[in-house]
């Protein structure tokens, strides 16, 4: 089979450890992939490049169209731009897809039946970084919600639901307060929903919606929501499912796509060899599906599930009485490869 060429970046903190683990699994599964490695993140910021991404990296990302990215550290303090926001906006990655599923009874979860997908608008809302000091005592940020941007994400959510055999799409906004911006999102949702009579559509105000994510996530299926609410809800949902270390995400555009774990660079455990590589592995599985390599994706997913079922767990998901063996990143990776 002809090999597909992707771009890989090792990131910061636990990034290199978990990326090495994932590449080892991809190689062991004989995934027909070749990769170019680029450097982005902390070291690049320190060289004085405020975007954290050097010019030559952009050429590689654009040529290969698919990026597998480990988490990067955004240095504290002014002047540094978020690499993720820059990548999403520059590459037009309008849809952020985060499946959050419980792996009960093998991984402890407060909600054993939860299996939901959060589809978040990825370019607009409050993430434009357009902020200013209005007066000495007043600050302001611009919230942007567009008709084409909203229509794209809502349509993506319904198409996703159809493609993955899901039954319901729930839209979450705060349109009781932001009647024009969130109101537009809700109205477009209602219009697009009419084209998908086979899929149940509902709307919830995001505060009660968030309470439902926390208390009864098993009643939700696909959630579509503007950028900020999606950012918050998806971390809550991933943690409820078991651990932030378990979930991967796709950032999808019309021409490019980027796949990453949902968690950050975890500097508190970097270099200790204990990080869970599952989030990045889930992202790699989503990437294989995107590339049309479903069989390899399934082989890896099954080996990973089998490892969890056998009670071989990294520290973040290890529970006395439920897990059999607490392992580090390397041993967990070996166990997946063995299976
Ligand atoms: P974090 O997600 O890095 O860590 C939160 C907690 O979860 C920590 O206790 C950490 O040890 C634990 N954790 C995270 N991933 C884990 C894993 N794979 N295995 C085991 N435990 C894991 O969030 P943070 O501490 O708020 O952020 C650290 C840095 O990461 C910041 O610089 C932030 O800007 C950056 N960040 C990057 C991305 C990204 O690149 N996509 C996303 C979020 C945060």
Whose CA is closest to 89, among 280, 233, 253?
253
Confidence of residue 12 (pLDDT cuts 50, 70, 90): very high
Q: Do 138 and 219 fall within a single domain? A: yes
In short, whether 265's Cβ falls inside 6 Å of ligand 1 is yes
Pick the last residue of a domain from 241, 271, 286.
241
Q: Is residue 102 in a domain?
A: no
Q: Which residues of 209-218 are buried (b: 16+ CB within 10 A; e: fewer)?
A: bbebbeeebe
Residue 180 shares a structural domain with residue 281? no
Q: Are residues 269 and 324 located together in one domain of the fold? A: yes
DSSP string, 143-185: -B--HHHHHHHHHHHHHHHHHTT--EEEEEE-TTT-TTHHHHH
| % of residues, the chain, pLDDT over 90 | 85
Ligand 1 centre distance from Cα of residue 263 (Å): 5
Q: How many helices (H) and strands (E) does the chain have?
A: 11, 14
Task: Say if pTM beats, i.e. exceeds, 0.85.
Answer: yes
Give the total number of structural domains in the chain.
Answer: 2
List of residues 6+ apart from 169 with CB closer than 8 A: 157, 158, 161, 193, 196, 199, 200, 201, 202, 221, 222, 223, 224
Q: Are residues 86 and 156 in the same domain?
A: no
User: Measuring CA to CA, how many Å separate 154 from each of 85, 119, 172?
Assistant: 20, 9, 11
Which pLDDT score, from 0 to 100, does residue 167 have?
A: 97
Question: Does 53 map to a domain?
Answer: yes
Quick check: CB of 84 below 6 Å from ligand 1? yes
Backbone angles phi, psi at 179, to 5 degrees: -70, -30
Structure tokens at 150: 């909203």
- Report the pLDDT value the prediction gives residue 90, as an integer from 0 to 100: 92
Residue 178: both structure tokens together: 């932001």
Residue 260 Cβ < 6 Å to ligand 1: yes
Under 8 Å CB-to-CB from 300, ≥6 apart: which residues? 25, 26, 29, 31, 281, 284, 285, 288, 336
For the chain, the average pLDDT equals: 95
Report if residue 214 sits inside a domain.
Answer: yes
Last residue in a domain, options 241, 272, 301: 241
Q: What percentage of the chain reaches a pLDDT higher than 70?
A: 100
pLDDT confidence of 79, banded at 50, 70, 90?
confident
Interval between CA 267 and ligand 1 midpoint (Å): 7
Last residue of a domain, one of 196, 217, 241: 241
For tokens 């090999």, what's the residue? 3
Residues 221 and 202 in one domain: yes
Find residue 101's DSSP bridge partners.
Answer: 115
Q: Which structural domain range is residue 37 located in?
A: 1-97+244-339
83-98 tens-digit pLDDT = 888 898 899 999 999 9
Judge whether 103 lies within some domain: no
| Together in a domain, 134 and 213 | yes
Say what the pLDDT of residue 56 is: 93
Most ligand 1 atoms within 8 A of CB, residue of 264, 278, 281 to mutate: 264
Q: 267 and 337, same structural domain?
A: yes
Q: What are phi and psi of 134, to 5 degrees?
A: -75, -50
Same domain as 274, residue 192: no
The token pair at 226 is 């503007």
- Apex 32 CA angle, 31 and 34, nearest 5: 105
- Joined together, the tokens standing for residue 331 give 């041993």
The CA 82 to ligand 1 mean position distance, Å, reads 14
- Whether 77 shows a pLDDT value over 80: the answer reads no
DSSP assignments along 215-265, one per residue: H-GGG--EEEE-HHHHHHHHHHHHHHHT-GGG-EEEEE-SS-EEEEESS--
Do residues 220 and 206 lie in contact, with contact meaning Cβ atoms separated by under 8 Å? no
Cβ of 263 below 6 Å from ligand 1: yes
248 with 236, same domain?
no
Do residues 37 and 80 both lie within one domain? yes
Examine residue 304 and say whether the peptide bond preceding it is cis (omega within 30 degrees of 0): no
Determine the average pLDDT of the residues in 213-235.
96
Confidence of residue 217 (pLDDT cuts 50, 70, 90): very high
- How far apart are the C-alpha atoms of 204 and 183, rounded to whole Å? 12
227 phi and psi, to 5 degrees? Answer: -50, -55
103-145: per-residue pLDDT in tens?
A: 989 998 889 999 999 999 999 999 888 999 999 999 999 999 9
What distance in angstroms lies between residue 262's CA and the mean position of ligand 1's atoms? 8
Same domain flag for 235 and 250? no
Q: What is the dihedral of CA 197, 168, 162, 246, to 10 degrees?
A: 170
- Pair (82, 114) in one structural domain: no
pLDDT of residue 243: 76
- CA pair distance 114, 100, nearest whole angstrom: 8
Q: How confident is the model over 297-313, as a mean pLDDT?
A: 97
CATH code, 290? 3.40.718.10
């Amino acid at each position: 089979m002809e090999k597909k060429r992707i771009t890989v970046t090792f990131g910061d903190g636990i990034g290199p450890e978990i990326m090495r683990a994932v590449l080892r699994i991809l190689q062991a599964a004989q995934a027909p992939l070749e990769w170019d490695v680029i450097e982005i993140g902390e070291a690049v910021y320190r060289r004085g490049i405020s975007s954290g991404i050097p010019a030559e990296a952009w050429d590689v990302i654009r040529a290969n169209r698919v990026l597998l990215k480990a988490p990067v550290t955004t240095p504290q303090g002014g002047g540094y731009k978020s690499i993720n926001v820059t990548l999403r906006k520059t590459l037009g990655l309008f849809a952020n897809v985060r499946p959050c599923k419980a792996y009960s009874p093998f991984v402890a979860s407060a909600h054993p039946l939860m299996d939901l997908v959060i589809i978040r608008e990825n370019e607009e809302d409050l993430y434009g970084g357009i902020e200013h000091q209005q007066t000495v005592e007043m600050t302001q940020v611009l919230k942007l919600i567009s008709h084409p941007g909203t229509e794209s994400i809502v349509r993506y959510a319904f198409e996703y639901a159809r493609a993955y055999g899901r039954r319901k799409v729930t839209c979450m906004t705060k349109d009781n307060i932001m009647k024009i911006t969130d109101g537009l999102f809700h109205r477009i949702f209602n219009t697009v929903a009419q084209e998908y009579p086979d899929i149940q559509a509902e709307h919830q105000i995001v505060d009660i919606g968030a309470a439902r994510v926390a208390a009864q996530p098993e009643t939700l299926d696909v959630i579509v929501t503007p950028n900020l609410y999606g950012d918050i809800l998806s971390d809550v949902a991933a943690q409820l499912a078991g651990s932030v270390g378990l979930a991967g995400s796709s950032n999808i555009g019309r021409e490019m796509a980027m796949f990453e774990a949902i968690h950050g660079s975890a500097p508190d455990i970097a270099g200790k060899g204990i990080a869970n590589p599952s989030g990045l592995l889930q992202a790699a599985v989503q990437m294989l599906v995107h590339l049309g390599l479903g069989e390899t994706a399934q082989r890896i997913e099954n080996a990973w599930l089998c490892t969890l079922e056998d009670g071989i767990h990294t520290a973040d998901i290890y529970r006395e009485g439920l897990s059999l063996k607490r392992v580090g990143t390397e041993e967990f990776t070996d166990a997946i490869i063995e299976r």
